[in-house]
Amino acid sequence: GPLSEAHAYWMVAHANSWYGHSTASVRHRAFAEEYARDSYENLLFSICRFRQLSGHYPRIINVVGFAFKQARFTDLHRRAIRYPLSRFIYTGIDPPNAQGMRGVAAQERATAMGPFSADPYGCNTERLTDKRRTRNPYLRYHPYPQGCPELTTLFRYCGRRMFRGSLPWDSRTLVETGDASSSETQRSR
């Protein structure tokens, strides 16, 4: 049957013996988020999947991807979920032969940055909703926010303005749970 992109990456890493890392140490800690249909969902769903597996939200998020996608993740998606910039890292990696990537920046602005700037949650414009529909040919539905009850209102939100509800990583929430001091020290990276 069909495999998600995430599961295929997991299988490639496994087939390549976790790229030199101890199979015993990595294999049982590596999980895939298999429902995301675009980059916004990739970030939000991965945070929820982390919460489901660990019992808490991540203190630091490090996204690894193509360098040309950094602004989309850092300036648009991270901002849409209001995750603190001081606890968000984007590690941009370009392929070894990056000459073929020159036109990608303009394409990124037209097909991703522009649409997500106008529709931060990807649910109000035809371009983004069509992309999600075409990336879900088997009509699967994600299980979220199951396991992440604090994110229920964010998962249901479909506005053009920034979400204003409470989130687990809000400064106020961190102070209430006693996590504020540990999260603020991460800024010195």
Query: pLDDT over 90 for what percent of the chain?
Result: 54
Residues sharing a CB contact under 8 Å with residue 45, sequence separation 6 or more, in sequence order: 33, 35, 36, 142, 144
Check whether 73 has a pLDDT greater than 80.
yes
Cis link prior to 145 (omega < 30° from 0)? yes
For 14-34, how does the pLDDT look when each residue is reduced to its tens digit (9 = 90+)? 899 888 888 888 888 888 899
Average pLDDT over residues 49-70: 93
Which tops the pLDDT comparison, 24 or 2? 24
Region 165-183 average pLDDT:
62
d(C-alpha 16, C-alpha 149), whole Å: 36
* 3-state percent helix, strand, coil for the chain, nearest multiple of 5: 55, 5, 40
Residue 180: pLDDT over 50: no
Q: How many CB atoms lie within 10 A of CB 97?
A: 7
What are 88-116's pLDDT values in tens digits?
Answer: 999 998 777 766 676 787 788 888 888 99
Residue 42 near residue 55, CB atoms below 8 Å:
no
The answer to whether the pTM exceeds 0.75 is yes
